[in-house]
């Protein structure tokens, strides 16, 4: 079987799920050919972490035509959250598999979903409003997360995870300002309270932060291979993270003491509210904690909500330093450990098993 993988260049979350799926497929079907098409942070992540055969440069802005020519000989295209290609996918293209971890966030089924052969929805924060098996062959799968987490002795370390810090709707300057503002507060409050503090993010921001805060000792700014990141998380006494899904699932699997930082994008704003609603013990920062007028209506279309969120986060960074400092101390000092979870089977294992079974049936029929 020959598989092409694509994903949205939106931080480390979607590409981490892509990596988990690739590893599960490599374990179950080692002879399969698997290639990745992508750019930027996602491409770098796959190059450093995944057992793929080839990595090719492609951006969704390049258009579907450039991808279509490159993938015409593949059996499947596995698409993790790259929604822009769906309306343009044609019957003569390879069968597309869509993996969606944000189904709960959409107002309706993704546009172009009828062009997809199989739709895999991650069962995390899931409601039933956007599921219609009459429109597309749909599977609800368990969370896609850590395979075989190993026990590590906990050290007197703090992990601060900013994750990938990139998306198509936001300038790099925004993420630079965000990470510098939070890092300054965290170091001023905690640099002498831990044996080691490690900040993780993309390569470019890690280098920028290293220069900005070079006067501190026992402080590290890293873009780590994923296995090393998981080991670091396992060893850390406290984890502060942006409120993304992937790091949350990994922290839960490891039973970590976690506090959530200021959201850095629209989906994280919604996630902070979800975490707080579902578990009041979750230590989150919501925009309205800084000013009641910063609350984002769930009724707003995403095209309006995204720039509004960016504007309000920027205002918090610029005008609410003392309030932000208090919130950092609150989520750090009161964070409680998650009860360690076990998921069997993992979502990527379910997906790979279904795909391999279907492929055997397809080959028999043809």
> Residue 365 has what pLDDT?
54
> Residue 362 has what pLDDT?
57
Catalogue all structural domains in the chain, each as residue range(s) with its CATH number: 2-142+344-365 (3.40.50.11380), 155-334 (3.40.50)
> Residue 60 has what pLDDT?
81
Contacts of 102 (CB under 8 A, 6+ apart): 81, 267
Classify residue 54 by its DSSP letter. E
Strand order of the sheet with strand 2-7? 54-57, 33-38, 2-7, 76-80, 95-100, 118-122, 137-141
Both structure tokens of 74: 């593949």
Beta pairing partners, 77 = 4, 96
Rg (CA), the chain: 20
> Residue 366 has what pLDDT?
47
Q: What is the mean pLDDT of each run of 10 residues along the chain (366 residues)?
A: 96 96 97 97 96 95 86 96 95 96 89 97 86 93 88 94 91 96 98 98 97 96 96 97 96 95 95 88 94 90 89 98 98 93 94 91 55
Euclidean distance between CA atoms 123 and 141, whole angstroms: 6
> Residue 363 has what pLDDT?
58
Q: Report in angstroms the alpha-carbon separations of 354 from 15, 91, 119, 305.
A: 21, 22, 12, 36
User: What's the pTM value of the predicted model, to 2 decimals?
Assistant: 0.93
């Amino acid at each position: 079987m020959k598989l092409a993988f694509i994903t949205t260049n939106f931080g480390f979350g979607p590409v981490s799920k892509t990596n988990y799926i690739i590893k599960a497929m490599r374990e179950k079907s080692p002879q399969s050919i698997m290639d990745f098409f992508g750019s930027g942070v996602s491409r770098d992540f796959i190059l450093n972490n995944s057992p793929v055969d080839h990595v090719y440069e492609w951006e969704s802005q390049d258009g579907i035509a450039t991808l279509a020519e490159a993938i015409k000989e593949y059996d499947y295209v596995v698409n993790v959250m790259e929604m822009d290609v769906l309306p343009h996918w044609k019957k003569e293209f390879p069968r597309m598999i869509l993996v969606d971890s944000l189904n709960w966030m959409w107002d309706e089924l993704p546009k172009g979903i009828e062009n997809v052969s199989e739709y895999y929805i991650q069962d995390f924060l899931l409601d039933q409003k956007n599921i219609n098996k009459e429109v597309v062959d749909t599977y609800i799968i368990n969370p896609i997360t850590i395979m075989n987490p190993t026990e590590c002795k906990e050290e007197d370390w703090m992990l601060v995870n900013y994750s990938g810090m990139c998306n198509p709707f936001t300038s790099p300057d925004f993420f630079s300002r965000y990470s510098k503002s939070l890092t300054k507060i965290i170091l001023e409050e905690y640099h002498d309270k831990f044996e080691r503090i490690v900040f993780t993010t993309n390569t470019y921001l890690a280098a920028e932060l290293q220069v900005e805060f070079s006067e501190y000792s026992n402080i590290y700014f890293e873009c780590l291979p994923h296995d090393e990141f998981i080991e670091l998380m396992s060893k850390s006494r406290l984890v502060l993270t942006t409120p993304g899904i992937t790091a949350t699932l990994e922290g839960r699997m490891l039973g970590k003491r976690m506090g959530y930082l200021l959201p850095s994008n629209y989906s994280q704003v919604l996630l902070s509210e979800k975490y707080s609603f579902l578990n009041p013990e979750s230590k989150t920062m919501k925009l309205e904690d800084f000013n009641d007028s910063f609350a984002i209506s769930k009724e707003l279309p995403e095209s309006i909500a995204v720039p509004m969120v960016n504007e309000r986060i920027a205002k918090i960074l610029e005008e609410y330093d003392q309030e932000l400092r208090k919130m950092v101390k609150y989520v750090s000092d009161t964070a409680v450990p998650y009860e360690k979870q076990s998921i069997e089977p993992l979502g990527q294992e379910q997906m790979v098993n279904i795909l391999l079974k279907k492929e055997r049936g397809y080959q028999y029929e043809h």
